[in-house]
Structure 1
Amino acid sequence: MSATIKDVALLAGVSTTTVSHVLNKTRFVAPATRERVLKAANELHYAPSAVARSLKVKTTKSLGMLVTTTLNPFFAEVVKEVERQCYQQGYTLVLCNTDGELEKTNAYLMMLAQKRVDGILVMCSEYDDSLFSAVIGKRDLPMVVMDWGPSGDYVDRIQDNSVKGAHLAVQHLVEQGHEAIAYIGGPLEKLPARQRYDGFLEAMHEAGLPVVPEWIIESNFEFEGGKLGMRRLLTSPALPSAVFIGNDAMAMGAMSEAQLSGVSIPETLSVVGYDNCFYSAYLTPPLTTIDQPKRRLAEQAVASMIERIDNPRQNGRLIMLEPDLVIRSSVKTMARC
């Protein structure tokens, strides 16, 4: 039979209230008494009930996370870093994979709220903003959005500067002598896709280069989306010399389709991706890409969450993370005329 708080109190020669204060750190207890309590708890292998403790101190030391899919390597790498940060801060992470489905997202949100997690991290593309607002407001539940998710005064948002990242990608292609540049990206109603498209347009206009309608392809952010996008691009009457692709998962699908179609990379078509996922360095050829600082994203998200837990009524804020260009071998330097 497991030891109880009464057993610890009896062995230490103190009240159960004193044992509770020592274990929960809710009041000063004389060092000698505290030492006796901790020794007794250790000898009895006492493990306090997490549920009972959460009712007393009104925290569960657990965070929920809604993520679109862990199959996409970018999301998988971010989740890994978030879990590591939670562990270091003494929190348990409850991960919910929404598969981009609104009904599933809403169900998970309600489940997390009922389980009384201390806060919710959000990184999902499908959501009901009114439901999020109602649930968060009702419980005063802290929320941090990691790039994808609802916006409002009730959340902190950690965002990658996708406009700048896309601008860096196109600027690199221009510096390597490319003038015929295509774009394959995600759904433009999604904020990251819209921002990356805006950065592409900004850099093209800055360089005085034409934006060819047949070379602007809207797809989805998955491997298949890149494959289908490249298939469409290869049906164009004339082909570009380079393409900027909205994320590394799409870039992998696009490169595979191009090579299966006999298009050599980078000899015939140069490619720049976005995210700098782990595998991008091991593609053939290794992918030049824009690095999203995934570890800093996770660190900032968990730090912001803990800050909001400690100060639950503070207003939401926007924190912008800056991307960098990672040069590998998927871009050819064009001969200068």
Structure 2
Amino acid sequence: MRRQSTAADGQRRATVTDVARRAGVSTATVSRVLNRNYPVAEATRERVETAMRELGYVVNAHARALAGVSNRTVGIIVNEVIDPFYAYIARGVEREAALGGRLCLVCCTQGDPQRELAFIDLMHERRADAVVVVGGSLADRGYTTELARRARELDAGGSKLVLCGRPPLGEQA
């Protein structure tokens, strides 16, 4: 039995199946319209988008992430948000991400390299499109090896680790 999703006001949330039924198409067609990954006739696209508006359909980001689809998120990892250097970089990243319809999550390490690695792991779990690590490099071979490993894992999952104000990780990443 499928669990019913409800909004904060207690009303049942519209599903892809509801949108498909309203638009007179298959759920696969609704998915294609949402993902824009397959050609759909303009008239069909308009019917689906109209049905979505009429039903108040909102994409479930958690379900998309479970399906292996990007959740359109960019992680920004900084030492401190109150430092003007980090705030300026975060603002620029957020501005560019927003132009691409992405949400930015800012994480503060407070100078703790283990927190930094944990935040990278968290962004990877959430299928972030990119993880931007700003400043605060640590000259430690073990740490650099761990950071390079995470860069490779992100890349294998279709994401990127971006180093800003840091030396490159070398050939290992």
TM-score range, shorter chain: 0.7 to 0.9
Per the TM alignment, residue 154 of structure 1 is displaced from its structure 2 partner at its CA by 6.7
Unpaired segments ≥5 residues, structure 1: 156-337
Counterpart amino acid of residue 144 in structure 1: V
Query: Could you tell me which residue of structure 2 aligns to residue 37 of structure 1?
Result: 48
Q: Please state how far the C-alpha of 1:37 moved relative to its aligned partner.
A: 0.9
1:49–1:154 Cα change, 3 Å:
farther
Number of the residue aligned with 2:57: 46
1:23 Cα deviation from its structure 2 partner = 1.5
The 3 A distance-change label for structure 1 pair 57 and 110 is: closer
Mapped partners of 1:67, 1:103: distance in 2: 13
Deviations 1:298-324 (A, max 9, x none): xxxxxxxxxxxxxxxxxxxxxxxxxxx
Q: Unaligned stretches of 5+ in structure 2?
A: 1-11
Per-residue CA deviation, residues 253-292 of structure 1 (Å, 9 max, x unaligned), is xxxxxxxxxxxxxxxxxxxxxxxxxxxxxxxxxxxxxxxx
1:133 aligns with one of 148, 153, 160: 148
What residue in structure 2 maps to residue 9 of structure 1?
Answer: 20
What residue in structure 2 maps to residue 144 of structure 1?
162
**CA distance change for structure 1 residues 119 and 153 in 2, over 3 Å: closer, same or farther?**
farther
Separation in structure 2 between the aligned mates of residue 154 and residue 95 of structure 1, nearest angstrom: 27
Range with bigger deviation, 105-114 or 18-27:
105-114
Q: 1:55 to 1:27 in 2, by over 3 A?
A: farther
- Aligned partners of 1:121, 1:50: CA distance in 2, in Å? 21
What TM-score results when the alignment is normalised by the length of structure 1? 0.43
Asked whether 1:103 is paired with 2:114, we answer yes
Matches within 5 A, 1:258-297: none
Q: Counterparts of 1:81 and 1:121 in 2: how far apart (Å)?
A: 11
Q: Output one character per residue of 1:36-74: Cα deviation in whole Å (capped at 9) or x when no partner.
A: 111111100101211222344631211111112222212
CA RMSD of aligned residues (A): 2.0
Q: Is the 8 A contact 2:74 2:105 kept in 1?
A: yes
TM (norm. structure 2) is: 0.80
- Paired letter, 2:125: Q
> Deviation at 1:115?
1.9
Q: 1:19 to 1:68 in 2, by over 3 A?
A: same
Q: Does the 8 A contact of 1:136 with 1:154 survive in 2? A: no
Give 1:116-131 correspondences, 5 Å limit. Answer: 116-127=127-138, 128-131=143-146
Contact 1:123 1:149 survives alignment (8 Å): no
Query: What stretches of structure 1 move > 2 A for 4+ residues in a row?
Result: 51-58, 148-155
Return closer, same or farther for 1:149/1:100 CA change in 2, 3 Å cut-off.
Answer: farther
| CA distance in 2 between partners of 1:69 and 1:56 (Å) | 33
Give the greater-gyration-radius structure (CA): 1
8 Å CA contact 1:129–1:150 kept in 2: the answer is no
